Copies of this chain bind each other. A is one copy, B any other.
């Protein structure tokens, strides 16, 4: 038999590494699994999940008559220009939106939907329901989890 004390602290480390694995890894794995579930639905629109998120922001802004700047989109989605610039460029090349540098402030690039981008909104409107059905998660459970995640997000982002 081994010593009791040394074994315990070893076990503690094992448990911590395992717990940690399961807490943050669960998040990591679920996130990839869910974007995997989106993939076939979004493939019908020829969009990736991050592209879909950008389109959601754009549809929302467009309804208010806004043409958001790149930084606004980044703020909303917590993505930086290194991610957004090439992503927006691809959507622009496909004719879903336009990017235009402001004449007032040359640093600013405003993004606007084209008619084609606006039209895609209808084709995308059934994605959320189809996904929720696909997941087999009840609405109240979904809301609860979303609240927990939002709470966690504010904690994680809170004190920098």
Partner-B contacts on A (CB < 8 A): 13-14, 16-38, 49, 53, 56, 59-60, 63, 77-78, 124-125, 127-129, 131-132, 135-137, 142, 144-146, 148-150, 152-153, 155-159
B20 touches A31 (CB 8 A): no
Q: Which of A13, A49, A158 has the most CB of B within 10 A?
A: A13
Residues of B within 8 A of A60 (CB): 14, 17-18
Docked CA distance A118–B68 (Å): 50
B152 and A30 contacting across the interface, CB-CB below 8 Å:
yes
* Chain copies in the assembled complex: 2
Contacts of A53 in B (CB 8 A): 21, 25, 28
Question: Which single residue of chain B is at the shortest CB-CB distance from A127?
Answer: B20
> Which 4 pairs between the two chains have the least Cβ-Cβ distance?
A20-B128, A26-B149, A31-B31, A33-B156
